[in-house]
Amino acid sequence: MTGLLMVIVLFLAVYAAAQIMRVYELSAKVREAREYEVTDKDNNTQGRLMLLFGIALLGSFVWMVFAWDKLALPKPASLHGVEVDKLWDISMGLIVFMFFIIQPVLFYFAYRYRGNSKNKAVFYAHNSKLEFIWTVVPAVVLAVLIIYGMTTWANTMNPTNDEEPIVIELYAKQFAWTARYSGEDNALGYANVRLVKGANVLGVDTGHVHAGDDFIATEIHLPVGRPILFRFRAQDVIHSAFMPHFRAQMNCVPGMETHFQFTPTVTSTEMRQDPSVQERVKRINTLRQGKGLELYEYNYLLLCNKICGSAHYNMQMNIVVETQAEYDAWVKEQKTIAETL
Protein backbone atom coordinates (compact mmCIF):
# COMPACT_ATOMS: atom_id res chain seq x y z
CA MET A 1 0.00 0.00 0.00
CA THR A 2 2.75 2.47 0.94
CA GLY A 3 4.54 1.41 -2.21
CA LEU A 4 1.54 2.30 -4.33
CA LEU A 5 1.13 5.62 -2.54
CA MET A 6 4.80 6.42 -3.16
CA VAL A 7 4.39 5.72 -6.86
CA ILE A 8 1.33 7.97 -7.01
CA VAL A 9 3.11 10.77 -5.15
CA LEU A 10 6.13 10.44 -7.42
CA PHE A 11 3.93 10.54 -10.49
CA LEU A 12 2.11 13.64 -9.25
CA ALA A 13 5.40 15.34 -8.43
CA VAL A 14 6.75 14.75 -11.92
CA TYR A 15 3.48 15.94 -13.41
CA ALA A 16 3.53 19.09 -11.25
CA ALA A 17 7.10 19.82 -12.28
CA ALA A 18 6.17 19.45 -15.93
CA GLN A 19 3.33 21.93 -15.46
CA ILE A 20 5.68 24.41 -13.78
CA MET A 21 8.00 24.13 -16.77
CA ARG A 22 5.09 24.90 -19.06
CA VAL A 23 4.24 27.96 -16.98
CA TYR A 24 7.82 29.22 -17.27
CA GLU A 25 7.79 28.71 -21.00
CA LEU A 26 4.36 30.27 -21.55
CA SER A 27 5.12 33.30 -19.40
CA ALA A 28 8.30 33.78 -21.44
CA LYS A 29 6.21 33.59 -24.58
CA VAL A 30 3.87 36.30 -23.25
CA ARG A 31 6.92 38.53 -22.81
CA GLU A 32 7.82 37.72 -26.43
CA ALA A 33 11.02 36.11 -25.29
CA ARG A 34 12.23 32.56 -25.05
CA GLU A 35 12.54 30.89 -21.70
CA TYR A 36 16.18 29.94 -22.21
CA GLU A 37 17.31 33.45 -23.12
CA VAL A 38 19.01 35.29 -20.29
CA THR A 39 17.34 38.65 -19.65
CA ASP A 40 18.70 41.69 -17.84
CA LYS A 41 16.39 40.80 -14.99
CA ASP A 42 17.95 37.32 -14.77
CA ASN A 43 21.42 38.83 -14.76
CA ASN A 44 20.47 41.23 -11.98
CA THR A 45 18.96 38.48 -9.85
CA GLN A 46 21.76 35.97 -10.39
CA GLY A 47 24.46 38.62 -9.96
CA ARG A 48 22.99 39.66 -6.63
CA LEU A 49 22.67 36.04 -5.55
CA MET A 50 26.35 35.56 -6.36
CA LEU A 51 27.29 38.49 -4.14
CA LEU A 52 25.00 37.22 -1.41
CA PHE A 53 26.47 33.75 -1.65
CA GLY A 54 30.00 35.13 -1.42
CA ILE A 55 29.13 36.99 1.76
CA ALA A 56 27.36 33.95 3.20
CA LEU A 57 30.30 31.69 2.35
CA LEU A 58 32.81 33.88 4.14
CA GLY A 59 30.36 34.51 6.99
CA SER A 60 29.73 30.84 7.55
CA PHE A 61 33.47 30.19 7.40
CA VAL A 62 34.04 32.68 10.20
CA TRP A 63 31.15 31.18 12.15
CA MET A 64 32.56 27.67 11.78
CA VAL A 65 35.97 28.77 12.99
CA PHE A 66 34.44 30.32 16.09
CA ALA A 67 32.08 27.43 16.77
CA TRP A 68 34.33 24.51 15.94
CA ASP A 69 37.89 25.62 16.54
CA LYS A 70 37.60 24.19 20.05
CA LEU A 71 37.13 20.73 18.54
CA ALA A 72 40.58 20.68 16.93
CA LEU A 73 43.30 18.52 18.46
CA PRO A 74 44.85 20.00 21.60
CA LYS A 75 48.37 21.41 21.66
CA PRO A 76 51.06 18.99 20.47
CA ALA A 77 52.55 16.67 23.11
CA SER A 78 55.86 16.04 21.37
CA LEU A 79 59.03 17.93 20.59
CA HIS A 80 58.68 17.90 16.79
CA GLY A 81 54.92 18.46 17.10
CA VAL A 82 55.56 22.03 18.20
CA GLU A 83 57.58 22.66 15.03
CA VAL A 84 54.97 20.98 12.86
CA ASP A 85 52.22 23.10 14.38
CA LYS A 86 54.24 26.25 13.76
CA LEU A 87 54.51 25.37 10.07
CA TRP A 88 50.83 24.48 10.14
CA ASP A 89 49.82 27.86 11.54
CA ILE A 90 51.87 29.72 8.95
CA SER A 91 50.53 27.66 6.02
CA MET A 92 46.98 27.87 7.33
CA GLY A 93 47.28 31.62 7.83
CA LEU A 94 48.48 31.98 4.27
CA ILE A 95 45.74 29.93 2.67
CA VAL A 96 42.98 31.53 4.73
CA PHE A 97 44.37 34.92 3.69
CA MET A 98 44.30 33.87 0.03
CA PHE A 99 40.80 32.45 0.45
CA PHE A 100 39.62 35.77 1.84
CA ILE A 101 41.10 37.64 -1.13
CA ILE A 102 40.22 35.42 -4.07
CA GLN A 103 36.66 34.37 -3.15
CA PRO A 104 35.38 37.92 -2.51
CA VAL A 105 36.97 39.15 -5.75
CA LEU A 106 35.37 36.29 -7.69
CA PHE A 107 31.88 36.84 -6.33
CA TYR A 108 32.17 40.61 -6.46
CA PHE A 109 33.22 40.54 -10.12
CA ALA A 110 30.33 38.20 -10.89
CA TYR A 111 27.99 40.76 -9.33
CA ARG A 112 29.71 43.92 -10.58
CA TYR A 113 29.99 42.84 -14.22
CA ARG A 114 26.58 41.17 -14.48
CA GLY A 115 25.30 41.52 -17.98
CA ASN A 116 23.15 44.29 -19.35
CA SER A 117 21.85 44.53 -22.89
CA LYS A 118 23.13 48.12 -23.12
CA ASN A 119 26.70 47.20 -22.17
CA LYS A 120 29.52 45.77 -24.16
CA ALA A 121 32.44 43.90 -22.62
CA VAL A 122 35.97 45.23 -22.85
CA PHE A 123 38.19 43.38 -25.32
CA TYR A 124 41.09 42.56 -23.03
CA ALA A 125 42.97 39.41 -24.01
CA HIS A 126 46.21 39.48 -22.09
CA ASN A 127 48.64 41.51 -20.07
CA SER A 128 52.12 40.07 -19.80
CA LYS A 129 53.06 42.18 -16.82
CA LEU A 130 50.04 41.09 -14.80
CA GLU A 131 50.53 37.43 -15.70
CA PHE A 132 54.20 37.68 -14.82
CA ILE A 133 53.32 39.06 -11.40
CA TRP A 134 50.88 36.31 -10.54
CA THR A 135 53.27 33.64 -11.68
CA VAL A 136 56.28 34.98 -9.82
CA VAL A 137 54.63 36.01 -6.55
CA PRO A 138 53.15 32.55 -5.87
CA ALA A 139 56.46 31.03 -6.95
CA VAL A 140 58.38 33.06 -4.38
CA VAL A 141 55.89 32.40 -1.59
CA LEU A 142 55.89 28.70 -2.40
CA ALA A 143 59.69 28.58 -2.51
CA VAL A 144 59.72 29.82 1.09
CA LEU A 145 57.05 27.29 2.10
CA ILE A 146 58.85 24.46 0.33
CA ILE A 147 62.15 25.16 2.05
CA TYR A 148 60.48 25.56 5.43
CA GLY A 149 58.44 22.38 4.88
CA MET A 150 61.43 20.32 3.77
CA THR A 151 63.45 21.43 6.80
CA THR A 152 60.65 20.56 9.21
CA TRP A 153 60.16 17.20 7.53
CA ALA A 154 63.89 16.40 7.65
CA ASN A 155 64.06 17.32 11.34
CA THR A 156 60.99 15.22 12.08
CA MET A 157 62.10 12.12 10.23
CA ASN A 158 65.79 12.27 11.21
CA PRO A 159 65.88 13.84 14.66
CA THR A 160 69.20 14.37 16.37
CA ASN A 161 69.18 13.33 19.99
CA ASP A 162 71.79 13.49 22.71
CA GLU A 163 70.60 10.25 24.20
CA GLU A 164 69.78 6.94 22.64
CA PRO A 165 66.05 6.47 21.99
CA ILE A 166 64.04 3.79 23.77
CA VAL A 167 63.10 1.15 21.20
CA ILE A 168 59.50 -0.09 21.21
CA GLU A 169 57.85 -2.32 18.66
CA LEU A 170 54.21 -1.75 17.70
CA TYR A 171 52.63 -4.80 16.16
CA ALA A 172 49.39 -4.47 14.20
CA LYS A 173 46.92 -7.15 13.24
CA GLN A 174 43.19 -7.25 12.59
CA PHE A 175 41.99 -5.54 14.86
CA ALA A 176 44.37 -4.98 17.77
CA TRP A 177 47.68 -3.43 18.66
CA THR A 178 50.42 -5.07 20.72
CA ALA A 179 53.53 -3.33 22.03
CA ARG A 180 56.87 -5.03 22.60
CA TYR A 181 59.47 -3.21 24.67
CA SER A 182 63.13 -3.91 24.00
CA GLY A 183 63.97 -4.31 27.68
CA GLU A 184 67.30 -3.67 29.42
CA ASP A 185 69.52 -4.11 26.34
CA ASN A 186 67.31 -1.66 24.41
CA ALA A 187 67.39 -3.97 21.39
CA LEU A 188 64.52 -6.05 20.06
CA GLY A 189 64.91 -9.77 19.57
CA TYR A 190 64.37 -11.06 16.03
CA ALA A 191 60.75 -11.77 15.16
CA ASN A 192 58.85 -12.99 12.11
CA VAL A 193 55.26 -13.86 11.47
CA ARG A 194 56.37 -17.42 10.60
CA LEU A 195 57.30 -17.95 14.24
CA VAL A 196 53.86 -17.00 15.58
CA LYS A 197 52.64 -19.93 17.63
CA GLY A 198 50.37 -20.25 20.66
CA ALA A 199 51.25 -17.67 23.27
CA ASN A 200 54.07 -16.31 21.12
CA VAL A 201 51.65 -13.97 19.33
CA LEU A 202 54.35 -11.70 17.91
CA GLY A 203 56.47 -14.49 16.45
CA VAL A 204 59.55 -13.65 18.54
CA ASP A 205 62.58 -15.90 18.11
CA THR A 206 62.88 -16.71 21.83
CA GLY A 207 66.42 -17.99 21.43
CA HIS A 208 67.64 -14.72 19.90
CA VAL A 209 70.27 -12.89 21.90
CA HIS A 210 68.17 -9.72 22.33
CA ALA A 211 64.83 -11.47 22.86
CA GLY A 212 64.97 -12.63 26.46
CA ASP A 213 64.54 -9.25 28.13
CA ASP A 214 61.83 -8.02 25.74
CA PHE A 215 58.41 -7.68 27.27
CA ILE A 216 54.93 -7.39 25.80
CA ALA A 217 52.37 -4.78 26.87
CA THR A 218 48.77 -4.00 25.98
CA GLU A 219 49.09 -0.36 26.90
CA ILE A 220 51.90 1.96 25.83
CA HIS A 221 53.80 3.68 28.61
CA LEU A 222 56.33 6.35 27.72
CA PRO A 223 58.66 8.35 29.97
CA VAL A 224 58.33 12.08 29.39
CA GLY A 225 61.23 13.87 27.71
CA ARG A 226 62.95 10.71 26.41
CA PRO A 227 63.19 10.05 22.66
CA ILE A 228 61.19 6.99 21.63
CA LEU A 229 61.88 4.98 18.49
CA PHE A 230 58.80 3.08 17.37
CA ARG A 231 59.37 0.14 15.03
CA PHE A 232 56.22 -1.06 13.28
CA ARG A 233 55.26 -4.49 11.98
CA ALA A 234 51.97 -5.82 10.63
CA GLN A 235 50.76 -9.38 10.55
CA ASP A 236 48.04 -9.43 7.92
CA VAL A 237 47.17 -6.24 6.04
CA ILE A 238 48.40 -2.63 6.03
CA HIS A 239 47.50 -0.69 9.16
CA SER A 240 48.52 2.80 10.14
CA ALA A 241 49.73 3.79 13.58
CA PHE A 242 48.15 7.20 14.08
CA MET A 243 49.06 9.08 17.27
CA PRO A 244 47.45 12.45 16.54
CA HIS A 245 48.29 14.07 19.88
CA PHE A 246 51.96 13.61 19.11
CA ARG A 247 51.62 14.58 15.43
CA ALA A 248 52.91 11.14 14.55
CA GLN A 249 51.76 8.59 11.99
CA MET A 250 53.34 5.72 10.09
CA ASN A 251 51.94 2.80 8.13
CA CYS A 252 52.50 -0.74 9.37
CA VAL A 253 53.22 -2.90 6.34
CA PRO A 254 53.30 -6.71 6.20
CA GLY A 255 56.69 -7.96 5.11
CA MET A 256 58.64 -4.85 5.98
CA GLU A 257 59.52 -2.79 9.00
CA THR A 258 58.79 0.92 9.28
CA HIS A 259 59.69 3.35 12.04
CA PHE A 260 58.93 6.74 13.53
CA GLN A 261 60.72 8.57 16.30
CA PHE A 262 59.49 11.29 18.64
CA THR A 263 59.98 12.70 22.11
CA PRO A 264 56.86 13.09 24.26
CA THR A 265 56.92 16.33 26.22
CA VAL A 266 53.71 16.45 28.23
CA THR A 267 52.63 13.74 30.68
CA SER A 268 49.07 12.44 30.59
CA THR A 269 48.46 13.96 34.04
CA GLU A 270 49.69 17.39 32.93
CA MET A 271 47.51 17.17 29.84
CA ARG A 272 44.44 16.39 31.94
CA GLN A 273 45.11 19.54 33.96
CA ASP A 274 45.29 21.76 30.90
CA PRO A 275 42.29 24.14 31.08
CA SER A 276 41.25 23.62 27.44
CA VAL A 277 41.43 19.85 27.85
CA GLN A 278 39.38 20.01 31.05
CA GLU A 279 36.84 22.16 29.26
CA ARG A 280 36.65 19.60 26.47
CA VAL A 281 36.32 16.62 28.81
CA LYS A 282 33.51 18.43 30.61
CA ARG A 283 31.63 19.02 27.35
CA ILE A 284 32.09 15.40 26.27
CA ASN A 285 30.95 14.08 29.62
CA THR A 286 27.83 16.24 29.56
CA LEU A 287 26.98 14.60 26.24
CA ARG A 288 27.79 11.13 27.56
CA GLN A 289 25.75 11.62 30.71
CA GLY A 290 22.78 12.55 28.57
CA LYS A 291 23.10 9.25 26.72
CA GLY A 292 23.81 7.23 29.88
CA LEU A 293 27.31 6.27 28.69
CA GLU A 294 30.29 5.77 30.95
CA LEU A 295 32.28 8.89 31.69
CA TYR A 296 35.37 9.76 29.74
CA GLU A 297 38.86 10.46 30.99
CA TYR A 298 41.40 12.13 28.73
CA ASN A 299 44.00 9.78 27.27
CA TYR A 300 46.53 9.87 24.49
CA LEU A 301 45.51 7.45 21.77
CA LEU A 302 46.89 5.16 19.13
CA LEU A 303 44.33 4.67 16.32
CA CYS A 304 44.40 2.61 13.16
CA ASN A 305 44.20 4.98 10.22
CA LYS A 306 44.47 2.68 7.20
CA ILE A 307 41.40 0.72 6.18
CA CYS A 308 42.03 -2.80 7.48
CA GLY A 309 38.69 -4.61 7.59
CA SER A 310 35.34 -4.72 9.33
CA ALA A 311 36.44 -3.52 12.79
CA HIS A 312 38.88 -0.92 11.49
CA TYR A 313 36.82 1.71 13.26
CA ASN A 314 37.64 0.24 16.65
CA MET A 315 41.33 -0.60 16.62
CA GLN A 316 42.86 1.46 19.37
CA MET A 317 45.24 1.50 22.31
CA ASN A 318 45.87 3.91 25.14
CA ILE A 319 49.17 5.74 25.48
CA VAL A 320 50.32 6.85 28.92
CA VAL A 321 53.06 9.45 29.19
CA GLU A 322 54.48 9.58 32.73
CA THR A 323 57.48 10.68 34.73
CA GLN A 324 60.69 8.65 34.59
CA ALA A 325 60.04 7.29 38.11
CA GLU A 326 56.51 6.16 37.27
CA TYR A 327 57.77 4.62 34.06
CA ASP A 328 60.56 2.73 35.82
CA ALA A 329 58.09 1.37 38.35
CA TRP A 330 55.78 0.21 35.53
CA VAL A 331 58.63 -1.48 33.67
CA LYS A 332 59.57 -3.37 36.81
CA GLU A 333 56.09 -4.91 37.00
CA GLN A 334 56.27 -6.28 33.46
CA LYS A 335 57.17 -9.92 32.81
CA THR A 336 59.89 -10.49 30.20
CA ILE A 337 59.56 -12.93 27.32
CA ALA A 338 62.11 -15.18 29.01
CA GLU A 339 59.70 -15.45 31.94
CA THR A 340 56.47 -15.91 29.97
CA LEU A 341 57.43 -18.08 27.00
- Cα 46 to chain centroid, rounded: 37
Q: What is the largest CA-CA distance in the chain?
A: 94
In the bound state with another protein, the residue whose beta carbon lies nearer, of 5 and 134, is 134
Q: How far is the CB of 100 from another protein (least distance, A)?
A: 11
- Residues whose CB falls within 8 Å of the CB of residue 195, separated by 6 or more in sequence, listed in order: 203, 204, 205
Q: How far is the CB of 180 from another protein (least distance, A)?
A: 16
Cα-Cα-Cα-Cα dihedral of 307, 309, 313, 316, to 10°? Answer: -90
**Do residues 243 and 231 lie in contact, with contact meaning Cβ atoms separated by under 8 Å?**
no
In the bound state with another protein, the residue whose beta carbon lies nearer, of 105 and 329, is 105
Q: How far is the CB of 125 from another protein (least distance, A)?
A: 4
In the bound state with another protein, the residue whose beta carbon lies nearer, of 50 and 183, is 50
Integer Cα distance of 51 and 47 in angstroms: 6
Cα-Cα-Cα-Cα dihedral of 107, 111, 117, 123, to 10°? Answer: -50
Integer Cα distance of 211 and 182 in angstroms: 8
Q: How far is the CB of 212 from another protein (least distance, A)?
A: 23
Q: How far is the CB of 184 from another protein (least distance, A)?
A: 28
Q: How far is the CB of 332 from another protein (least distance, A)?
A: 31
In the bound state with another protein, the residue whose beta carbon lies nearer, of 187 and 237, is 237
Integer Cα distance of 171 and 231 in angstroms: 8
Integer Cα distance of 243 and 251 in angstroms: 11
**Do residues 200 and 341 lie in contact, with contact meaning Cβ atoms separated by under 8 Å?**
yes
In the bound state with another protein, the residue whose beta carbon lies nearer, of 46 and 178, is 46
- Cα 227 to chain centroid, rounded: 24
In the bound state with another protein, the residue whose beta carbon lies nearer, of 62 and 209, is 62
Q: How far is the CB of 329 from another protein (least distance, A)?
A: 27
> In terms of DSSP bridges, do strands 220-223 and 316-322 run parallel, antiparallel, or are they unpaired?
parallel
In the bound state with another protein, the residue whose beta carbon lies nearer, of 215 and 232, is 232
